[in-house]
Amino acid sequence: MFAITILGNNSALPAFGRNPTAQVLQTNDNSFLIDCGEGTQIQMSKYKIKHSKISHIFISHLHGDHYFGLIGLITSMSLLNREQDLHLFGPSQLKDIIDIQLKVANTILSFDLHFHPLSDEGEICNTKKMTVSSFKVQHQIDCWGFLFKEKKNPRSIDIEKAKAFEIPASFYDNLQKGESYLTKKGTLIHNDSVTFAAPPPKTYAYCADTLFHTSLVEKVKGVHLLYHESTYLKDLEDRATARYHSTTTQAATIAKMAEVKQLMIGHFSSKYESIEPFLNEAKDVFENTILAVEGSCYKI
Amino acid sequence: MFAITILGNNSALPAFGRNPTAQVLQTNDNSFLIDCGEGTQIQMSKYKIKHSKISHIFISHLHGDHYFGLIGLITSMSLLNREQDLHLFGPSQLKDIIDIQLKVANTILSFDLHFHPLSDEGEICNTKKMTVSSFKVQHQIDCWGFLFKEKKNPRSIDIEKAKAFEIPASFYDNLQKGESYLTKKGTLIHNDSVTFAAPPPKTYAYCADTLFHTSLVEKVKGVHLLYHESTYLKDLEDRATARYHSTTTQAATIAKMAEVKQLMIGHFSSKYESIEPFLNEAKDVFENTILAVEGSCYKI
């Protein structure tokens, strides 16, 4: 599984039933929470995302619509007696904000919270099945995008065939790595005659809040799914630029230039009651576009 | 109008659709927000409480379920270009928590936020029609209750009678203060023959999170409505005491001893799916009890 669930898709203010930004990337092993606007823990409960599955949290920047729900989520995890470690990535001042709020309440968390300040572009996280890299985007304040890359999966063994060739089970690990097997009689069993390739590793790029800038293109080149903010419709490009945000057309232009498989747009301004026009405008430039709709789960 | 709207009634964690603590006291002039758990701004929108009417916010203590929604509400007010002053009362560290979160986002509020740290018991706020006093309650950390007292309303004039006695309009202010009128011919028109008394000033006491302690009784004596927390049912009195909380029976005992007109209980533990049993237990001790139910407006 490699799936994104949208918990919030709005910018700045909650409006028209839409909540501030939060997403969860779920895999078979871990869940990764990306941004955490106010009310995220309530949205998680609504959409059946388990606290206990969240192993890593990534905060793109310190505008409230991207992190005001974090302290509530962390303290709730502690009240529920979480034991497993939690890894938190974000701008360095985030630690001070959490620390002061724990301190005034005399709260000692029930689990170890490992804070990783964002400072350079590059790999920031390496789990059994995933790497995460950070890259800078251009916003009013220090702001980061994240690239999630599944590791290459091992080849799958056709057990029936492997048995037929009398390959011992002790060699199966080598088969998964792509090695061929030499029988005792000196016959070489080619790897691809007993294994088949795993599906290619999935990739997801999250571009947070950003001004339109083409230097993003190489950072998100060819990903399976690109999330690019689209705070405004195309007629408000000047406002988008002034506020370090992007329009539908600009988001779709990055997707097209980066030759991604699919584009997801979100972070809709609270001035818009309907978000449908966003989809039409983006599709005019990049057909394979979807809207970040709260509660929806997009499988990659 | 003197009415309490409940925006959240739960303790610690959001659960079973219940939100953390927040209430609004609405009068004809101002609205007073009392505590502000996460999601309060969303609850305000849901229950049609206008930001712009909130002139004062009172935060009882710095456990997250009572204030994690404050920074989101304040920044939303600013994003909506609020101009009028906002008065905020709370433990002194609350200012640091707000300041650091505004600073990291380079946010300059669109309005003047006046912070009033709580330090002594007594009057903390005096508006045209209301006084508010703070009093200490006993909790794990520094924690405050608030007593809201309407000022005595002026007497109402029976205009028809005043005209019949030929009392000049310029004397109406004096009539409202209770003065009698001496006509040019030397006849004394007794005040109570042309005016009638206004209804007695309303009082509301909010006791925040507190251990059962009878020293509260004199602080809330005879109020129209007493809000007393009742985190647990009576069988968990030991747990309530250990955690500096109260039970149904304890809340009702305070109401009875203080001879209040009505008791409202809330701050229900997230372990309870149904809150109905709370009402029955409290009523066994103090009949005129109501539950703090989200979205309900209780007129005093």
How far, in Å, CA of B238 to CA of B251, rounded?
15
User: What Rg, from alpha-carbon coordinates, does chain A have?
Assistant: 22
- Provide the pLDDT for residue A154: 87
Q: Which residues contact A184 (CB under 8 A, 6 or more apart)?
A: none
How far, in Å, CA of B213 to CA of A30, rounded?
47
Question: How large is the ipTM?
Answer: 0.90
How far, in Å, CA of B64 to CA of A97, rounded?
13
Q: Which two tokens stand for residue B38?
A: 């996460």
User: What Rg, from alpha-carbon coordinates, does chain B have?
Assistant: 22
**How many residues are recorded in chain B?**
300
Structure pTM?
A: 0.91
Residue A284 annotated as catalytic: no
- For chains A and B, CB pairs below 8 A equal 82
Nearest Cα neighbor of A45 from A9, A10, A13, A80 is A80
How far, in Å, CA of B272 to CA of B11, rounded?
11
- Provide the pLDDT for residue B29: 86
- Per-residue confidence at B12, pLDDT binned at 50, 70, 90? confident
How far, in Å, CA of B267 to CA of B229, rounded?
5
> The tokens 């230039």 sit on which residue?
A257
pLDDT digits (tens, 9 = 90+) for A209-221: 999 999 999 999 9
Calculate the alpha carbon distances from A44 to A140, A167, A233 in Å.
Answer: 29, 47, 29
Nearest to A75 among B41, B64, B101 (CB): B64
The mean pLDDT of chain B is 96
- Per-residue confidence at A199, pLDDT binned at 50, 70, 90? confident
Nearest residue of A to residue B42, measured between CA atoms: A14
- Provide the pLDDT for residue A29: 86
Flag if A14 and B101 touch (Cβ within 8 Å). no
pLDDT digits (tens, 9 = 90+) for B138-167: 999 999 999 999 998 889 999 999 999 999
| Runs of H (alpha helix) within A108-236 | 159-164, 172-177
How far, in Å, CA of A34 to CA of A58, rounded?
5
How far, in Å, CA of A40 to CA of A19, rounded?
8
How far, in Å, CA of B271 to CA of B16, rounded?
9
Active site residues of B: 65
How far, in Å, CA of A250 to CA of A119, rounded?
27
CA dihedral B56, B65, B254, B258 (to 10 degrees): 0
Domain annotation for chain A: domains and CATH numbers: 2-153+199-299 (3.60.15.10), 156-196 (no CATH)
Annotated catalytic residue, options A29, A65, A85, A142: A65
Q: Which two tokens stand for residue A136?
A: 């800078």
Nearest to A68 among B63, B71, B106 (CB): B71
How far, in Å, CA of B98 to CA of B78, rounded?
13
For β-strands A181-182 and A188-189, DSSP reports them as antiparallel
Please state whether A95 falls in left (phi above 0), alpha (psi between -120 and 50) or beta. alpha
How far, in Å, CA of A2 to CA of B238, rounded?
47
How far, in Å, CA of A265 to CA of A257, rounded?
16
